[in-house]
Amino acid sequence: MKKTILLFAFFTAVSWGWAQEGYQIKVTLKPFTQGYLYLGHHFGSKQYIIDSVALNVASEVVFSGKEKLQGGVYMVIFPAKNGWFEMLVDKAQHFAVTADTSDIIGNTKFTGSPDNDLFQEYQKTAQQKGKAIYALQSQLKEKPGRPDSAKIKAEIIKLNDEMTQYREQYIRAHPDNLLAAIFRVLQEPKVPEASKHPGGKYDSTFAYQYYKQHYWDGVSFTDERLVRTPVFEPKLQRYFNNVLIQQPDTLIKAADKMLDASEPNKEMFKFLLSTLTEKYINPTYMGQDAVFVNLFERYYAPGKADYWLNEKYRKAVFDRAYSVMANLIGEKAADMNMVDTLGKSRTLYSINAPYTVICFWDPTCGHCQKEVPKLDSLFQNKWKAQGVQIYGVMTDGGKAAWMNFIHEHRLKGWNHVYQLPEVKDAEYAAGKPGYKQLFDVYQTPILYLLDRNKNIIAKKLNYEQLDDLLQMKIKNAKM
């Protein structure tokens, strides 16, 4: 008899296990009785729809699938796609939710999902505190100099502190929950008070270093659930945009540390690598393309991203890397085998000057037609006397148009050059990269600034920015 009971319990457990495979989420959302409800989730700064089901007359749908959903913050999206409510999907993936658009937070109830019960409590608390803070802020805005403004500001601080304490208590009580992981992302480092700084007084360098070093405290780079939340990517972007010093070496070190920590989790590693690639493949600031080259050499080239790369993405990354890696700031510029207007050899390295400006331009390009004469004016009135030389490379447009533009605009004193077709063909036949690839020339005009040894000082600045940098270099050299 005992054996029979044990066998019954075993088969019951097996049956229940099969019943709990995949996901099944029953949603009742009033007042909708027709159309479709959509199931979506956050992914970084974007949102994606993954399922849709037609509503019945009782305002019900059931989202279901054979495979479990990846953990994260999910959304039930209204039929017109003009709104949604959020819920947590993690371990429990068989549950029900009833909601009403008249008061989503107040009227939403979950069955079979303790995590979402706690999430609802938090949302109600956050809504209550948020309304109170907004009301107090409105009072200050209406009468900025009111006599009780200090009291109102203190109350706002108190309410914010209460929310912080709420999140901290939740983390202690439910350390493994998805909401606790989200709260850790939202936490801000608490810089020690001034008396605890070196020397017992406020030290801005210490405060900055402390903030930076503790920015990611408690956040796991192997927790892939964070990828499907609306809070992780903004924190990531703020870290690289505002917290870190915008120097390539600093950014590279931070990116490597983060990516190396995430490698055990393929989903997080993929997200971080693709996000940082998108950020630095065409960076905002000059010189930060070195971050992308490092990503390429450390992760893409050795094949660490092959498990998720499609052919189109792979080609874009590899082509871009080969275009950028030859012209990084501080590296020697590649020599160029060019001829002048008379057909005589005039290579880049034949130029002897303390500074050389390379101008890649096309006489038929409308932007070049406006910018090149301005560049020449700067050269004639300032740079020439400072010993600066211009190596002007005609990229396209034809020799006749090129010569006409030079004469018409009196571009005197330049080293005007272009590449002979047979030289271009010979480089291609030999499998050598052309100058357009070596200098990443895919639009015109493009300017480079080189020092006496042909090291790249600056690139892709406009002529005014380049002049500012050049004058600073000349001034510092005289000191």
Same domain, 134 and 105: no
Residue (of 414, 374, 379) closest to 394 by Cα position? 414
Per-residue model confidence as pLDDT tens digits over 429-467: 998 889 999 999 989 999 999 999 999 999 999 999 999
Amino acid 8 reads F
Contact assessment for residue 207 and residue 197, using Cβ atoms and an 8 Å cutoff? yes
CATH of the domain at 94: 2.60.40.1120
* pLDDT attached to residue 20: 67
Same domain, 448 and 350: yes
Per-residue model confidence as pLDDT tens digits over 157-196: 999 999 999 999 999 999 999 999 999 999 999 999 999 9
E-assigned strands of 172-310? Answer: none
Number of structural domains (the chain) is 4
Same domain, 366 and 464: yes
150 CA to centre of own chain: 39
Residue span of the structural domain in which 379 resides: 339-478
Does the pLDDT value for residue 378 go beyond 80? yes
Per-residue model confidence as pLDDT tens digits over 330-361: 999 999 999 999 999 999 999 999 999 999 99
Contact assessment for residue 189 and residue 217, using Cβ atoms and an 8 Å cutoff? yes
Does the pLDDT value for residue 390 go beyond 70? yes
Mean of pLDDT values over 106-121:
95
Task: Answer with the one of 163, 186, 209 that is the final residue of a domain.
Answer: 186
Instruction: Give the residue with greater pLDDT, 283 vs 1.
Output: 283
Same domain, 386 and 303: no
* pLDDT attached to residue 281: 95
Does the pLDDT value for residue 18 go beyond 60? no
Contact assessment for residue 372 and residue 445, using Cβ atoms and an 8 Å cutoff? yes
**391 in any annotated domain:** yes
Rounded Cα distance, 200 and 218, in Å: 28
Share of the chain above pLDDT 90, in %: 89
- Residues facing residue 30 across a β-bridge: 100
Place of tokens 């020339």: 441
Contacts of 36 (CB under 8 A, 6+ apart): 52, 53, 54, 55, 61, 79
Tokens matching residue 17: 């296990």
**331 in any annotated domain:** no
**202 in any annotated domain:** no
**334 in any annotated domain:** no
CATH of the domain at 379: 3.40.30.10
Contact assessment for residue 456 and residue 355, using Cβ atoms and an 8 Å cutoff? no
